[in-house]
Structure 1
Amino acid sequence: MKKQNCCRSLTAFLLIIPALLCAQDGSEALRYLEQINAEHNAVTARNLEYIQYSVHVEDFVEVEKKRLEVLRQMDETIKRTSAMPAFQGKSTMRDEMLATVKSYRESFTIEFNEINLLKKESKASYEAMEAYLNAQDAAEKKLGQASTRFYNAQTAFAKEHNIRLTKAAENSEVDQINQVNAYNRAVFLKYFKVSKHNAVFMEALGKEDPKEMERARILLSNDADAALLVLRKMPGFKGDVAYRDAAIKLIEFYDQLADDGYKKITAIKRKKELTQEDVDTFNSVIEHYNGNVDSLLKNYNDSLNQLLRNNIPKPPTSTKRI
């Protein structure tokens, strides 16, 4: 049997704080808040651009370049904000901004490095992949908490100095990214658990171990049934059902194999002597698998890529290396 392809799971570094724009008079307090927000918005813009590149640009070097630009922007923002004086003897606003960006930096360099280490192990088991996705969630929640603290500091400062705040347009893009990322994970984890049982079955087949084949086959059948029950009830993402349906078709393929083809070849592997009919049946199952799995995997991956590209804005410009 052909080796399975590894399906893509979106890893977007969602480090965006709810940006705010200020509007009122030309007061000193307003200028101070605008200066802080300008630093914050610079980080926000770099990070959003990085996410856009990670989805829409195939060149790994270009994507990595954008990731490093986010880190440099954070360092520059920390340096400039640290040099800002306190406002009228109060440093709360400046200090909260610094704490937030430093939390950004720490999460970006430490927690996401941990995620990437987990990702290296994620092909080994469903539990490792689940831990990987949970690590993503934990890092994003921590960043969300930092966002809330900074938002509260901005709001308190504005109230104290009679400044009106309005939310920036970038927030709708961030919300969209968070939503599509959560949807992808929900579908992907259902598929991945099933695919791991299929991989275990194939490995057992290669070792000619019918006992392990049967164990993997039963798990494959049971978990495929459970996944299909959930996915068939799951709505599309804003009406788009292509990714969900591609996952359903792939899982249905594995489920049918578990209940029919795999059952037959497991029984054949238990035999000491094979008939010509056994050989023909075995070859037929293998040919059926090889003749269909690649196109189903391609459809799954293509549908995911299209979902992301449809719902994550393109970067303003992108370049290709020569």
Structure 2
Amino acid sequence: MTKMLATAVLGLTLFLGTGKTLAMTAVEHMTFLSGQEETLSLKYLSYMSEVAHGVRAKKMEKRRQELIAAVRLAIREGNKLRPFEGDASLRNAYVNYWTVLLSIFNEDYSKIIDMEEVAERSYDAMESYLLLQDKVDEKLKEAYNKVPEAYQTFAASHNVQLTQGQSTKLDRKLNETSRVNNYARQLFLISFKSSVQESNMIDALNKADLNGMEQSKNALKLYSEEGLSRLDTLKPYNGDASLVTACRKVLEFQKNESSRISVLSDYMLKREEFEKIKKAFDAKPASSRKQADVDAYNKSLDAMNKGINDFNKTNDELNKGRDKVMQNWDAARKRFLDQHVPHK
């Protein structure tokens, strides 16, 4: 029997012959299933890209529910399709893949949403959150890889000749999205590990917790230096070094910040010392105060006043510097993902 040359949305080229009803029916069977997948993939790749671009999954709950409904519809439509000449292999391959999709968006992304709130609180929580996203990416790729195999086997079994490229359009999108996400997440974790300590240090500052400040300052210095060393081992992504450069600026600022934060803690010590002296001074009746008491009070007050000027100047410079590098980091991440992650 003469083989027909066929296409489907898997990225293969369709050449239709004439007068071969059986082959055309096989092509129609294939095209129906791949058409369902093309429509579906536009929805779920768009959703996954938005999450990868930094949009919180919780904010897209309506989109997720719409996607779940679309996957369920595809499964129902697929199950209605009659096997071609008793061969249900291709139909089952697609339906099995869509069933995995349903599990991913119904269960795995539900867990991702639940983890979003706590992920910001610690490095370990963030690492677990991103690891779950990595596992979802791999789960999706592994499930999809069975579809092209079934597609080619079905075509060979029913005399449909396929002209193949190196990979399908969806293959490329899934693989590229996974590679970009893995690269971006590496850099994000390097930055986040240091930034958690910075956040803890600022929190301790606001609570006037000197011990907490000291511990976080030392950890900030350690992790920022560690991060800078790790950046030296990372190559640009397809020639794009923008994300590494932006991350380096954040870590360099944080390393410098760890050395300057002592100006703020010094002021807090001087304020604490003044409050002790003032309390003792105020507790004494004016008639009982000696010149030494007055001198100690004034000396401590002068030291605190000088310290507050240094505090305000340093704190203002650090806040402005932090805002600048973080805005640059956020913008660089968005540009990087916009450029390298498929939106649809």
Q: TM-score range with shorter-chain normalisation?
A: 0.7 to 0.9
Match of 1:117 among 95, 114, 123: 114
Q: How many angstroms apart in 1 are the aligned matches of 2:182 and 2:343?
A: 19
Unaligned runs of 5+ in 2: 1-8, 275-299
Q: Any idea what the Cα deviations from partners look like across 1:104-141, whole Å, max 9, x if unmatched? A: 01111110110111111111111111110011011111
> Contact (CA 8 Å) 1:194, 1:224: kept in 2 or not?
yes
> Contact (CA 8 Å) 2:141, 2:175: kept in 1 or not?
no
The question of 1:87 aligning with 2:84 is answered yes
The question of 1:72 aligning with 2:63 is answered no
> Contact (CA 8 Å) 1:122, 1:129: kept in 2 or not?
yes
Q: Any idea what the Cα deviations from partners look like across 1:159-194, whole Å, max 9, x if unmatched? A: 322333334434434433322222211111111111
How high is the sequence identity, in percent, across the aligned residues?
Answer: 22
Secondary structure of 2:261's counterpart equals helix
Q: Match of 2:252?
A: 252
Q: Match of 1:189?
A: 189
Q: How many angstroms apart in 1 are the aligned matches of 2:132 and 2:59?
A: 25
Q: Which has the higher contact order (CA 8 A, sep 6+)?
A: 1
The question of 1:152 aligning with 2:168 is answered no
Secondary structure of 1:89's counterpart equals coil
Q: How many angstroms apart in 1 are the aligned matches of 2:210 and 2:54?
A: 45
Shift of 1:218: 0.8
Secondary structure of 2:234's counterpart equals coil
Shift of 1:257: 1.2
Q: How many angstroms apart in 1 are the aligned matches of 2:224 and 2:59?
A: 38
The question of 1:299 aligning with 2:314 is answered no
Match of 1:21 among 12, 15, 29: 12
Secondary structure of 1:234's counterpart equals coil
Shift of 1:302: 1.1
Q: Tell me the C-alpha RMSD between the 2 structures.
A: 2.9
Shift of 1:220: 0.7
Shift of 1:262: 1.6
**Structure 2 length-normalised TM:** 0.77
Q: Match of 1:12?
A: none
Secondary structure of 1:164's counterpart equals strand
Unaligned runs of 5+ in 1: 1-17, 316-322
Q: Match of 1:221?
A: 221
Moved more, 283-292 or 121-130: 283-292
Structure with greater proportional helix content: 2
**Structure 1 length-normalised TM:** 0.82
- Return the letter of the residue paired with 1:101: W
Moved more, 104-113 or 149-158: 149-158
Compared with structure 1, are the counterparts of its residues 110 and 314 closer, same or farther at alpha carbon in structure 2 (3 Å cutoff)?
Answer: closer
Q: Match of 1:311?
A: 340
Secondary structure of 1:21's counterpart equals coil
